Amino acid sequence: MKHFNVLHTDKRARAGRLKTAHGEIQTPVFMPVATLGTVKAVSQEDLKTIETECLLSNTYHLYLQPGLDTLEELGGLHKFMRHPGPILTDSGGYQVYSMSNLRKITDEGVRFQSHIDGSSHFFTPESVIDYQARIGSDIRTFLDVCVENPATHEAAAEALKKTKAWAERAGKHFRATTAGVDEKLKPLMFGIIQGATFPDLRRESALHMAETVNPDGFAVGGLSVGESKNQMHDTLALVTETLPKEKPVYFMGLGSPEDIWEAVGNGADMFDCILPTQNARNGQVLTSQGRFYIKNAPYKRDDSPIDPNCDCYVCKNYSRAYLSHLFKTKELLMNQLLSVHNLRFLINQTKIMREAIKNGNFAEKKKDFLDSYYRDTPRPERDKVRLVPKSNTSED
């Protein structure tokens, strides 16, 4: 049974449908991030209201808390969090990257030191597949090795070598452990493509994944980690050109609206990102006319909604002035309201994209979006590289 159908194309942009055990996903899709089995500050009711199609959760974090025994006893993640829709789980590969001071990589797997209590845990490509089975996610990903940017070709090649070997092991294990499962209930496995920003490595990774591992979908990892926008988009374009066209492409960790427009134009179908929720908690909101900080002076007495063009319940019922007040007074409701809005904004963008692809005017709609989004602010430099490490970001 074919789990993914490309319904419409407009140049390289595609609109499609992905079937999972917990329902269909229309693509392009934005998946809110529920690392610990919750989209931070957002309720299940909210997720439904904003028309969430798929959630992303995290193997590493769920493994530590509440623990897989607990999760399994309570019927898996869907039942535990009462989420009826599809869930994709990240393998923990991102934690290999972001918690580099707490882990050690060997050919066999990754030894983590828990960030909670310091206890030691060993993840292998196979065990991570088993963990995701216990979580019960619909889309499961392989353990990979993501390198920081900038990386030397040597380091990226070394990481890719492990990623490839691990993908083969994980794919084999996945097939062996899901062999008898009914097609309709069968989870999907997504392989992760690495190779930093080196074209030869990216091509090698994509070809290897497609030809040797042949997963249900392709995740593009190791991007949006500090490289320039040009590098990021060029790398994606090269990967989608290399990959077969009949399977979904998931750009891991991409979440600013302008980037998603660009990436959909380059053939990506699925996205997840902490940005809309994390930025919401830090007071930044997205609108069709650009993004801004709700806490900033101009909004203190602004009685208008965050985005007059948004259909979310926050924009219909709350003013900028009130939300600004909530932020400044550290009222917890702010986290929920701004998160709901930002998520709904991105989901609405994907709906506009699908419609545009169907109508064959994607480029035009993309231009409309960007013209409006950058109406009052200069467009960012596309070749600018993030120089400061993740843990020490600042700008003056």
Partner RNA sequence: GGUUGGGUGACUGAGCGGUCAAAAGUAACGGUCUGUAAAACCGUCGGGCUACGCCCUACGAAGGUUCGAAUCCUUCCCCAACCA
Query: What residue ranges bind RNA (CB under 7 A)?
Result: 33, 35, 39-40, 56, 58, 61, 90-91, 93-95, 97-99, 101-102, 115, 141, 144, 146, 192, 194, 219, 221-222, 224-226, 229, 252-256, 259, 272-275, 277-279, 281-284, 292-293, 295-298, 300, 328, 330, 332, 335, 386, 390-396
Q: Which is nearer to RNA, 255 or 267 (CB)?
A: 255
Active site residue 90: yes
Q: Residues 289, 377: contact at Cβ < 8 Å?
A: no
Pairing of strands 29-32, 55-58: unpaired
CB of 120 to RNA, least distance (A): 14
Distance, CA of 244 to CA of 230 (rounded, Å): 23
Distance, CA of 16 to CA of 171 (rounded, Å): 24
CB of 360 to RNA, least distance (A): 27
Q: Residues 251, 220: contact at Cβ < 8 Å?
A: yes
CB of 184 to RNA, least distance (A): 26
Q: Which is nearer to RNA, 291 or 358 (CB)?
A: 291
Strand order in the sheet with 55-58: 29-32, 270-273, 249-251, 217-220, 188-193, 139-141, 87-90, 55-58
CB of 396 to RNA, least distance (A): 3
Q: Which is nearer to RNA, 117 or 371 (CB)?
A: 117
Catalytic residue among 10, 90, 269, 307: 90
What distance lies between CA 96 and its chain's CA centroid? 16
Dihedral, CA atoms, 346, 135, 18, 274, nearest 10 degrees?
Answer: 20
Q: Which H helix or E strand runs over 320?
A: helix 320-328
Pairing of strands 13-20, 188-193: unpaired
Structure tokens at 238: 């090269």
Q: Which is nearer to RNA, 296 or 359 (CB)?
A: 296
Q: Residues 33, 273: contact at Cβ < 8 Å?
A: yes
Distance, CA of 107 to CA of 125 (rounded, Å): 10
CB of 31 to RNA, least distance (A): 9
**Backbone dihedral region for residue 136 (phi beyond 0: left; psi -120 to 50: alpha; all else: beta):** left
Distance, CA of 328 to CA of 301 (rounded, Å): 13
Active site residue 272: yes
Asked if the bond preceding 257 is cis, omega within 30° of 0, the reply is: no
Q: Which is nearer to RNA, 7 or 252 (CB)?
A: 252
Distance, CA of 333 to CA of 330 (rounded, Å): 9
The closest alpha carbon to 253, from 280, 285, 227, 281, belongs to 227
CB of 160 to RNA, least distance (A): 12
Distance, CA of 276 to CA of 284 (rounded, Å): 8
Residue 236: which residues within 8 A CB-CB, separation 6 or more? 220, 223, 251, 263, 266, 267, 268
CB of 180 to RNA, least distance (A): 27
Q: Which is nearer to RNA, 6 or 321 (CB)?
A: 321
Q: Which is nearer to RNA, 214 or 296 (CB)?
A: 296
CB of 7 to RNA, least distance (A): 25
Q: Which is nearer to RNA, 85 or 255 (CB)?
A: 255
Asked if the bond preceding 389 is cis, omega within 30° of 0, the reply is: no
Catalytic residue among 138, 216, 259, 272: 272
Catalytic residue positions, numbered = 90, 272
